[in-house]
């Protein structure tokens, strides 16, 4: 009988690739930057606060990676392309910058709407556009990863602005997958449950909110930043070579029922 030729395992190494992580100065952004760096990518960590991104980039370099800091306010749409113009094109983009302002729908203001939708959707849209334009111009493929949320798949009281923004991100992910797929650019989203980060910490000081949240997470615990690292590496690497327009729920079972 002829021998069996075993298929090669797709590599999850990212050597020689360049990655941009927005909102990279804290929380999930640090986790995203760390896993990409450890897989061999050269990582640019972007956020508004110079001290934070410089500290993260320094930590990545100290761990043996190649990293640089980029001070960038992604809500300043006009500044995005000029900020990226002086840098080599990115093969990987992680759209992690985001915010939330929970409260009753009947009390939401236009200012809160603009804040949440402006960062979670508008800024994400135009950062993605700037990165994708370079990839298309160079005739190269790439991987775009949108850090969305379980709230892009369900609704929740006092989360109308956040849910609206994340449902929009889910729709945008699919639309861009269709449009950019023929150019070899894959677009996927990761949808975490509540993760313990500096942004969410104040919410969990409320014991009732913490109990109600844990009751919906079937695995019985809040997420940790490292819980999304595997998903980021999957979508950034060749291991997800046939995945685009996909949404990966990292929600501890929140949306399972």
Say if 37 falls within a structural domain. yes
d(CA 254, CA 206): 20
d(CA 148, CA 169): 7
Residue 249: per-residue pLDDT: 98
Say if 137 falls within a structural domain. yes
Say if 222 falls within a structural domain. no
Say if 87 falls within a structural domain. yes
Q: What total of structural domains would you count in the chain?
A: 1
Say if 5 falls within a structural domain. no
- pLDDT tens for each residue of 8-55: 999 999 999 999 999 999 999 999 999 999 999 999 999 999 999 999
Three-class SS of residue 91? coil
Say if 208 falls within a structural domain. no
Q: Can 166 be counted among the known catalytic residues?
A: yes
Say if 257 falls within a structural domain. no
Q: What does DSSP assign to residue 195?
A: B
Report, as an integer, the average pLDDT of 182-195: 98
- pLDDT tens for each residue of 193-251: 999 987 788 888 999 999 999 999 999 999 999 999 999 999 999 999 999 999 999 99
Catalytic residue chosen out of the listed positions 162, 183, 216, 218: 162
Catalytic residue chosen out of the listed positions 125, 133, 166, 183: 166
Residue span of the structural domain in which 54 resides = 18-203+228-248
d(CA 239, CA 243): 9
Kindly report the CATH number assigned to the domain that includes residue 48: 3.40.50.720
Which residues have C-beta within 8 Å of that of residue 166, sequence separation ≥ 6?
Answer: 120, 148, 149, 151, 152, 191
Note whether 57 and 47 are within 8 A (CB). Answer: no
């Amino acid at each position: 009988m002829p021998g069996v030729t075993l298929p090669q395992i797709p590599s999850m190494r990212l050597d020689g690739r360049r990655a941009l992580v927005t909102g990279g100065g804290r929380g999930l952004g640090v986790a995203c930057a760390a896993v990409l760096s450890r897989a061999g990518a050269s990582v640019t960590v972007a956020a508004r606060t110079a001290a934070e991104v410089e500290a993260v980039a320094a930590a990545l370099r100290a761990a043996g990676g190649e990293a640089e800091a980029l001070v960038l306010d992604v809500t300043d749409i006009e500044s995005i392309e000029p900020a990226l113009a002086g840098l080599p094109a990115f093969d990987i983009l992680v759209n992690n910058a985001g915010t939330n302002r929970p409260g009753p729908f009947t009390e939401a203001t236009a200012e809160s709407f603009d804040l949440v939708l402006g960062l979670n959707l508008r800024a994400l849209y135009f950062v993605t556009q700037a990165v994708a334009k370079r990839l298309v111009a160079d005739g190269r493929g790439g991987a775009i990863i949108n850090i969305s949320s379980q709230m892009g798949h369900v609704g929740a009281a006092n989360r109308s602005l956040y849910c609206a923004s994340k449902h929009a991100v889910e729709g945008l992910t699919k639309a861009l997958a269709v449009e950019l797929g023929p150019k070899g650019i894959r677009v996927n989203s990761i949808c975490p449950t509540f993760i313990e980060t500096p942004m969410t910490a104040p919410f969990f000081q409320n014991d009732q909110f913490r109990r109600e949240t844990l009751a919906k997470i079937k695995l019985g615990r809040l997420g940790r930043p490292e819980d999304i690292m595997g998903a980021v590496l999957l979508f950034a690497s060749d291991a997800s070579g046939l995945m685009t327009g996909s949404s990966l729920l990292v929600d501890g079972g929140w949306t399972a029922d």
